[in-house]
Structure 1
Amino acid sequence: MKTAAPISERLDDVEAKRDSGRQKIDWALEHMPIVSNLAEEFEAEKPFLDQTIGMALHVEAKTAALVETLANGGAEVAITGCNPLSTHDDVSVALDAHPNITSYAEHGIDDEEYYEAIDAVIDHEPTITVDDGGDLVFRIHEEYPELIDNIVGGSEETTTGVHRLRAMDEDGALEYPMFNVNDTPMKHLFDNVHGTGESALANIAMTTNLSWAGKTVVVAGYGYCGKGVAKKAAGQGANVVVTEIDPRRALEAHMEGYDVMSMDEAASEGEVFVTTTGNRDVLTADHFEAMQDGVVLANAGHFDIEINIEQLEELAVSTQEVREGVQEYELVDGTRVNVLAEGRLVNLASPVSLGHPIEVMDQSFGIQAVCARELVEHGDDYDAGLHEVPDALDREVAEIKLDAEGIDLDELTDVQREYMNSWRHGT
């Protein structure tokens, strides 16, 4: 079954890459109190003995902290990337040096190599899966259904992946339990808002060396990711336009002070476009033809489907890389449309990308870690299908973070607790 080899067997200068990756991971761990706290617990208690964890994630330093935490907790871990451009090869090599970890993740691979690496992870016969985008889960269901009976469960962290899993669950096609990490409060209130908002804008700015001040920025979608991008762009002096399909989210954006309009109208208004929908064909030929000269297009959704690159290529009379990570498409009327990171996830796939801030990912990976522990300890309590993360796990991660920050909370008195839990108290 396995066709891909571990990354350490494919690259040159492995020792130098290992040292570089180790340095990045150690720096991340210094700023990840949640994962570090759980790492101590897992190393002492070894909850993942006899478990094999298959992972398809963005393989960079913060991710590596989670991976090593699970491995040091007794798991055998096999990991590959969930996006061809988001892997940091030196981090992947450093992970592969761990005795309990095999990493197949490599930057810049093509689609065939991407799925060969996923197949190689599956060849380890995982009992738990941890996914970004759902490709690992769907590959198991479609190509390796004989392995499903031995899988305790898994978790999915992205909006796109949860959309796919929800549709799969509604069709009765999801055959083992999956935790919806994306929609738990510790994920969407922080990772989606602050993580996506800060990292998408930072990577666009670093890739282009352009300012936000005074720019008209069109944000497609006003979910938690879109809210973060809009909020952070406005905070840096941009004029923000929001496009939406949901009337309540559109009204929310309007009442928070943003201009709200259809993409057909916004296409001629924007100077920078950031897609955050998780859906396909958000920007298409009609929009490209209406855009201003020099416009910048970036995708902050998981897959490279939100900007229809094929239609843009058909419209273009010429194309060239005008800056590392920036592909310029010149249309017949001379308009130049600039696409960042090939339309892939801009906060991880552009050449300068470092992903979300470390402190933000500490929270999300803390949720991933306690979900894996929950599956080992109480997996029999969950039927096949998509499940919300138990609130107690979400609160546990928040409490670890607050304790690390030295922040104290008030506690309810017995009288207050009785009042809140009783229906007998009135005026």
Structure 2
Amino acid sequence: MEASERARLDTYFGKIAKAFAPPERPSSLLVTHLLPERPAFVRAVGTVSDLRAVLPKPKSINLAARRDIEQTTPCDALSRETFADPDTAVTYLETRAAGEDVVLLDVGGYFAPALDMLCARFSGRVLGVVEDTENGHKRYAELGKLPCPVVSVARSPLKDPEDFLVGQSVVFSAEALLRGRGDILHGRPALVIGFGKLGSSIARLLHAKGVHVTVYDIDPVRRAQALSQGFGVARDRDQALAGAGLILCATGALSLRGEDFPLLRNGAYVATVTSSEDELELDGLPDGYSRTSSGENVTRYSTTGHYFYLLNDGNAVNFIHGASVGPFIFLVQAEILAGVRQLAREGLDPGMHEVPTEDRATIAGTWLNYYNR
């Protein structure tokens, strides 16, 4: 990022932080992708809260960004296991923010498994969670009766541009990897599993490239939407897997179980838009499959009479090429800061919440002043 762009970004976040400064700053823990532009957002989080630690998503860490952040804020290791065990989760929170009012800023529902115990046993107070992704939104919503408020920006209209551009970057990276092996998209039927915001974006972009696209989604409403938009909709999931030359997993949950992989046709490519631990049950592959490199970021899984290719080890394929969505990501990051203020005001009941419409308008207006030039 050029110096002038960094200066503009810092000024933008300065305006946002001033607009959404809470009456009293809570402490915070931040889960985030550590992409090259991310330090500006981290600094803004540190302006509206006392940022106790950053937990970088392990498959998306830019080393220069990490070094920048570590000058002022600890960066701790992140895994699902950290917060799957309530004792471990509570102990971690105590080491970073004992006795304090804390806001948990999440990307993917990491805090969800231990949220009840964090709220019940932590020596301070968990004021609530701000969640950024649809996957994480679902993880919190599925808890049923929540012990604290969860402000979700996953379904905000300010996130729509990001979702479209993430879909575009997924298609770009998948095509780049295929071309690196001398393959092309054309003539390779694609199956998109999941027709939410990302899945529908991926399906449209593949279609625009002349790829025959079939959609599978467990939700009949989404299947109807896909059909209305001109896509093939799989009646039989197993047959769809067997016929696809490229499978793109975009559910944010488990897309392919171990027993599904032998159904794939020989030479099929598999890619995901989230992490392998969410989308793929690779540990459930039947015995006999061997794993060998078949080019940069392409792994060949094979057994007697069968083989398929996995892109980027099953992790979000677009992160190979930086996963940049341009300045549109700053809209969503600003909304996260607005969520911090909502929780710091302590007026929300336990349950799922959104950022108010007027706050989104403030964010959009500020963003346009800086990026509609």
TM-score calculated relative to the size of structure 1: 0.75
Secondary structure at the counterpart of residue 257 of structure 1: coil
Q: Say whether residues 1:132 and 2:107 are aligned partners.
A: yes
Superposed CA offset, 1:266-300 (max 9, x none) = 112211111111222x2235542232222111111
Q: Percent identity?
A: 19
Change (3 A) 1:96 1:380: same
Secondary structure at the counterpart of residue 237 of structure 1: coil
CA distance in structure 2 between the partners assigned to 1:148 and 1:175 by the alignment:
15
Match for residue 353 of structure 2 among 384, 387, 401: 387
Contact preservation (8 Å) 2:36, 2:64: no
Contact preservation (8 Å) 2:90, 2:117: no
CA distance in structure 1 between the partners assigned to 2:351 and 2:80 by the alignment:
31
Q: Say whether residues 1:79 and 2:54 are aligned partners.
A: yes
Cα distance, 1:75 vs. partner? 2.8
Match for residue 161 of structure 1 among 131, 136, 144: 136
Contact preservation (8 Å) 1:240, 1:259: yes
Change (3 A) 1:300 1:131: same
Secondary structure at the counterpart of residue 304 of structure 1: helix
CA distance in structure 2 between the partners assigned to 1:201 and 1:218 by the alignment:
13
Q: Say whether residues 1:212 and 2:185 are aligned partners.
A: yes
RMSD: 3.2
Contact preservation (8 Å) 2:90, 2:122: no
CA distance in structure 2 between the partners assigned to 1:310 and 1:63 by the alignment:
32
Cα distance, 1:328 vs. partner? 1.0
**Aligned residue type for 2:195:** Y
CA distance in structure 2 between the partners assigned to 1:297 and 1:155 by the alignment:
31
Which residue of 2 is the match for residue 320 of structure 1? Answer: 292
Match for residue 64 of structure 2 among 87, 90, 98: 90
**Aligned residue type for 1:145:** A
Cα distance, 1:27 vs. partner? 8.1
| Equivalent residue runs for 1:255-274 within 5 Å | 255-261=228-234, 262-274=236-248
Change (3 A) 1:360 1:271: farther
CA distance in structure 1 between the partners assigned to 2:128 and 2:81 by the alignment:
26
Which residue of 1 is the match for residue 40 of structure 2? Answer: 65
Which residue of 1 is the match for residue 158 of structure 2? Answer: 186
Secondary structure at the counterpart of residue 294 of structure 2: strand
Secondary structure at the counterpart of residue 279 of structure 2: coil
Superposed CA offset, 1:57-89 (max 9, x none) = 22222433211112244633411123x322223
Which residue of 1 is the match for residue 318 of structure 2? Answer: 347
Q: Say whether residues 1:374 and 2:342 are aligned partners.
A: yes
**Aligned residue type for 1:175:** P
**Aligned residue type for 1:127:** V
**Aligned residue type for 1:395:** A
Cα distance, 1:375 vs. partner? 2.6
Which residue of 1 is the match for residue 169 of structure 2? Answer: 199
Secondary structure at the counterpart of residue 225 of structure 2: helix
Q: Say whether residues 1:56 and 2:31 are aligned partners.
A: yes
**Aligned residue type for 1:51:** P
Cα distance, 1:117 vs. partner? 9.9
Change (3 A) 1:39 1:148: farther
Contact preservation (8 Å) 1:78, 1:124: yes
Change (3 A) 1:148 1:233: farther
Cα distance, 1:322 vs. partner? 1.6
Which residue of 2 is the match for residue 425 of structure 1? Answer: none
The range that moved more, 218-227 or 262-271, is 262-271
Change (3 A) 1:381 1:112: closer
Change (3 A) 1:391 1:238: same
Cα distance, 1:367 vs. partner? 1.2
| Equivalent residue runs for 1:291-330 within 5 Å | 291-302=264-275, 304-312=277-285, 314-330=286-302
CA distance in structure 1 between the partners assigned to 2:313 and 2:205 by the alignment:
23
May I ask how many residue pairs the two structures share in their alignment?
Answer: 364
Cα distance, 1:394 vs. partner? 2.2
Superposed CA offset, 1:210-266 (max 9, x none) = 533443211001111111111122222322111122222112111211111132121
Which residue of 2 is the match for residue 104 of structure 1? Answer: 76
| Equivalent residue runs for 1:284-295 within 5 Å | 284-295=257-268
Cα distance, 1:360 vs. partner? 2.8
Cα distance, 1:342 vs. partner? 2.5
Q: Say whether residues 1:245 and 2:218 are aligned partners.
A: yes
Contact preservation (8 Å) 1:329, 1:338: yes
Change (3 A) 1:316 1:387: same
The range that moved more, 154-163 or 320-329, is 320-329
Contact preservation (8 Å) 1:62, 1:358: no
Secondary structure at the counterpart of residue 111 of structure 2: helix
Superposed CA offset, 1:303-350 (max 9, x none) = 6232221233x25442212223222111221x22111233233333xx
CA distance in structure 1 between the partners assigned to 2:92 and 2:259 by the alignment:
41
TM-score calculated relative to the size of structure 2: 0.85
Return 5+ residue gaps in structure 1 as ranges.
1-23, 408-427
Match for residue 332 of structure 2 among 355, 361, 364: 364
Change (3 A) 1:181 1:122: farther
Contact preservation (8 Å) 1:326, 1:341: yes
